[in-house]
Amino acid sequence: MYKENYPSKLLEEAVDAINMLPGVGRRSALRLALHLLRQPQENVHHFTAAINSLRDEVKYCRVCRMISDDEICSICSDNSRDRNTICVVESVRDVMSIENTGQYHGLYHVLGGIISPINGIGPSDLTIRELVARVAELCGKEDGYGNAADLADGETGDGAMNGNAGAEVILALSGDVEGETTSFYIYRQISGFGIKVSSLARGLGFGDDLEYADELTLGRSIVNRQAFRP
């Protein structure tokens, strides 16, 4: 461990601050602080101003909760996208990752986290309620919270027959216990609307060698085997 003996209080405070970033230890923080010290003053001010602006001025899309410069994000306001499909993800980062694949053309819903009792995050800390409202609207039903959607008759969402036939919710959450829990929780909330609910395919990665696959993944890959498409 690096002994802490700073020649300047200002340097120590900057190192303390930079050290708060994830994955940046005290040695790296010192290196970064000394680097910033060597830069022209206007570059450092530009650096800090960009971070402050991001934190102070960023907006979240009113529909999907994605980071956005406007009230409605560029994805939600893009009429060429499939408005019948909602892909539920944990974070902004996940939206960017899926967008980068170029394989998805529907809408998103950013939960802003994942149900995690250990970290004190419950369903009410996430945007699940907003998701249920969106699904209700998509299916032309009333959601469980009493918000009226443009419903045709007085039914509450229990019959699959009234669902929007093409509508689909994709639960694109991580495959760990917390992700599965969150997926299951959401599934229970929306299954009554008669909407198709899917989750990401799990199996061996493309190009993966059987020899190095873990047993759980390999086992699931066999159980969920797909028709061979040459």
What residues line the site for its own copies (CB under 8 A)? 2-3, 5-11, 13-14, 16-18, 20-23, 28, 30-37, 39, 41, 43-59, 66-69, 73-75, 91-93, 95-96, 99-100
- Please say which residue, 53 or 224, places its beta carbon nearer to its own copies: 53
- Dihedral, CA atoms, 177, 179, 184, 190, nearest 10 degrees? 170
- Please say which residue, 35 or 202, places its beta carbon nearer to its own copies: 35
Question: What's the number of CA atoms in the CB half-sphere (13 Å) around residue 5?
Answer: 3
- Please say which residue, 68 or 85, places its beta carbon nearer to its own copies: 68
To the nearest whole angstrom, how small is the minimum distance from the Cβ of residue 84 to its own copies?
A: 22
To the nearest whole angstrom, how small is the minimum distance from the Cβ of residue 96 to its own copies?
A: 7
Question: Judging by beta carbons within 10 Å of its beta carbon (0-12, 13-18, 19+), is residue 38 exposed, middle or buried?
Answer: exposed
User: Which residues fall within 8 angstroms of residue 125, CB to CB, at 6 or more apart?
Assistant: 112, 113
Alpha-carbon radius of gyration of the chain: 23
To the nearest whole angstrom, how small is the minimum distance from the Cβ of residue 199 to its own copies?
A: 24
To the nearest whole angstrom, how small is the minimum distance from the Cβ of residue 65 to its own copies?
A: 11
